[in-house]
Amino acid sequence: MAEKSLRTIIIGAGMAGMLAGIKLLERGETDFVIYEKGASAGGTWRENTYPGLACDTPAHSYSYSFALNPEWSAFYAPGTEIKAYFEGIAQRYGLLPYIRFNTEIERCDWRDGRWHVTTKAGDTDSSDILVAASGVLHHPSVPAIPGLEDFERPWFHSARWDHSVPLDGKRIGVIGNGSTGVQIVSALAKRAARLVHFQRSPQWIMPCPDLQYTEAEKQAFRDDPEKIEAVRNGPDAAARKARFTAAIIDMDSPELSEIQEIVEKNLEESIRDPELKEKLRPNYRAACKRMIFSAHYYNAVQEPTVFLENKAIERVEATGIRMKDGTFHELDVLAVATGFDVGKFVRPMKFYGEGGMDLDEFWKKGPRAYYAVTIPHFPNLCLLNGPTGPVGNFSLIDIAEKQWAYFEQLVDLVRSGQAKAVAPTEAALETYEAARNKDAMRTVFASGCSSWYLDANGVPQVWPWSYDHFVEVMRAPDLSDYALVA
Ligand code: NAP
């Protein structure tokens, strides 16, 4: 039977959407379009530009497997370099003609065996296949702190950094000490006249090397890509991945105890002042919140310019922040590094599947997808880095590559004419979710802390199994869990 040619619509020109485009081009498919609401590619690396921005996944692992990059300047690459990497990829792989920038998709309707999308401007398009690659950490969460709108000096969310605001010699406030807040404070400690880091809960900090690659090392990577492979998948990387997965999937594992020892030793040995040490000591287990890797944070908080404020905020006033105990911190600029609204995933876009099924309705108990990739009643739809996929300290590029390879096998059924449409059964999703929820409660994420991994019922919305299991199930879809529409 001749192969059917299929049209694909991809939403988002970040890492995952670009990956889908490249993979389509690789197999000679040119009937696709990538809709991107921003003015350039790169997703999270376009939106986040805060001082100190870096990726705490080793740069050689945080690269497409087919586009290794011997030029990374450091073991952990700065955000500017990662953004340039993705822009370079868009050019090099000829993606730009396929991207419609400044075009926001508002709704997607499955009708008459096709996806019909409508842009915010009211334009329409349709396709056989729809790929939602709109990112996970995408909608800034601005805290509901009383008075924030009354602050008369510059303030912004970390993902909306205003680079016109001077920082050197200023009194800077940073609220939040997730991966973002920690990177910002590490970068600004020496530039500020005074920096107040507002910490609601302390964080465990995993020490890591601040390793810059020398020209000789880069040359070695250029000469021999196997050396890059060794960084990505060699014994050290494999041991790191194995230790980390063993630790997160079982809160009683010896691997987690080992990680706990490392972070406690880091706190013990790095912080001199006993009072500061206690302010920084979490009362929950290491890796319960997303593990923070930092070579600099503990030095930064010990700079004479930095004050770690761990009391509760009463309100923001016109010129600073008032604490509940009456202390007032006058500030020239305030950055809120308070994370993202993670429950949204593809929303606020509206999706209507078979029979007009509303995704908001289907997700009323929370976002879910079969093996994080496909959704019952929403045929021929692929989520990349969708709900319940592996998160934490993995390379999301590697995760997206494996999810795409899995979905492509479903598309092949449509392409070859074996099915017109493919979606998982509801029973399959229920079975997956039941097992996932049960095992999620054994992960360290459920060991007693607040984090963006938890849903409204306190169940981690994550992959609760090993990385190897993820690789195994992504190898091929189990077609008995799919409804194929002839
Ligand atoms: P986050 O991990 O959600 O942290 C938000 C921070 O803001 C927490 O410290 C939280 O305190 C605090 N916060 C929230 N609301 C607050 C309020 N009303 N008052 C006071 N404090 C408040 O956000 P993030 O740091 O932006 O990181 C999000 C994710 O982005 C990370 O987990 C990671 O996946 C990704 N990321 C990755 C990298 C990387 O290097 N790969 C870098 C940056 C970000 P509580 O802990 O008390 O809730």
C-alpha separations of 28 from 5, 110, 210, 288, 405 in Å:
11, 26, 42, 44, 16
Amino acid at 252: D
Ligand 1 atom with the smallest distance to the CA of 180 is 25
- What pLDDT was estimated at residue 456? 87
- The pLDDT of residue 8 is above 80: yes
Does some domain include residue 322? yes
- List of long-range contacts for 327-333, beta carbons under 8 Å, 24+ apart: 329/171, 329/173, 329/196, 330/171, 331/153, 331/171, 331/172, 331/173, 331/196, 332/153, 332/154, 332/170, 332/171, 332/172, 333/153, 333/154, 333/155, 333/165, 333/167, 333/170, 333/171, 333/172, 333/173
Q: Which two tokens stand for residue 176?
A: 């939040």
- The pLDDT of residue 460 is above 70: yes
Q: Is 117 near ligand 1, meaning CB less than 6 Å away?
A: no
Count of structural domains, the chain: 2
Model confidence at 450, pLDDT cuts 50, 70, 90, reads very high
Centre of ligand 1 to C-alpha 59, Å, is: 21
- Contact indicator for 227, 220 with CB cutoff of 8 Å: yes
Q: pLDDT digit string (tens) for 308-335? A: 999 999 999 999 999 999 999 999 999 9
| Domain end marker among 285, 313, 336 | 336
Residue 345 and residue 330 share a domain: no
Residue 257 and residue 185 share a domain: yes
Q: Which domain holds residue 230?
A: 149-336
- What pLDDT was estimated at residue 478? 97
Does some domain include residue 54? no
- What pLDDT was estimated at residue 300? 98
Q: Is 179 near ligand 1, meaning CB less than 6 Å away?
A: yes
Report the percent of the chain where pLDDT is more than 90.
90
- Contact indicator for 59, 75 with CB cutoff of 8 Å: yes
Distance of CA 92 to the CA centre of its chain: 24
CB-based burial label for 275 (10 Å; 0-12, 13-18, 19+): exposed
Centre of ligand 1 to C-alpha 199, Å, is: 11
| Domain end marker among 319, 336, 353 | 336
Distance of CA 391 to the CA centre of its chain: 7
Q: pLDDT digit string (tens) for 145-163? A: 999 999 999 999 999 999 9
Residue 346 and residue 232 share a domain: no
- Contact indicator for 15, 47 with CB cutoff of 8 Å: no
Does some domain include residue 76? no
**Could you count the other beta carbons within 10 Å of the beta carbon of residue 112?**
7
* Nearest protein Cα to ligand 1, atom 31: 179
CATH of the domain at 429: 3.50.50.60
C-alpha separations of 229 from 3, 51, 67, 235, 466 in Å:
35, 30, 12, 11, 21
Does some domain include residue 75? no
- Contact indicator for 391, 453 with CB cutoff of 8 Å: yes
Ligand 1 atom with the smallest distance to the CA of 342 is 3
Residue 281 and residue 234 share a domain: yes
Model confidence at 408, pLDDT cuts 50, 70, 90, reads very high
Q: Position of tokens 């199930």?
A: 473
Residue 186 and residue 123 share a domain: no
Does some domain include residue 90? no
Q: Which of 175, 179, 399 to mutate to test the pocket of ligand 1 (most atoms within 8 A of CB)?
A: 179
Does some domain include residue 19? yes
Q: Which two tokens stand for residue 270?
A: 């790095």
- What pLDDT was estimated at residue 328? 98
Q: pLDDT digit string (tens) for 28-48? A: 999 999 999 999 999 999 999
| Domain end marker among 309, 336, 363 | 336
Residue 331 and residue 354 share a domain: no
Q: Which two tokens stand for residue 455?
A: 């849903």
Model confidence at 485, pLDDT cuts 50, 70, 90, reads confident
Centre of ligand 1 to C-alpha 177, Å, is: 6
Q: Position of tokens 């690396």?
A: 45
Q: Is 450 near ligand 1, meaning CB less than 6 Å away?
A: yes
Residue 196 and residue 331 share a domain: yes
Residue 434 and residue 374 share a domain: yes
**Average model confidence (pLDDT) across the chain:** 95
- Contact indicator for 394, 57 with CB cutoff of 8 Å: yes
Model confidence at 391, pLDDT cuts 50, 70, 90, reads confident
CA distance 206 to 244: 12
Q: Is 288 near ligand 1, meaning CB less than 6 Å away?
A: no
* Nearest protein Cα to ligand 1, atom 25: 178
Residue 348 and residue 318 share a domain: no
- What pLDDT was estimated at residue 1? 59
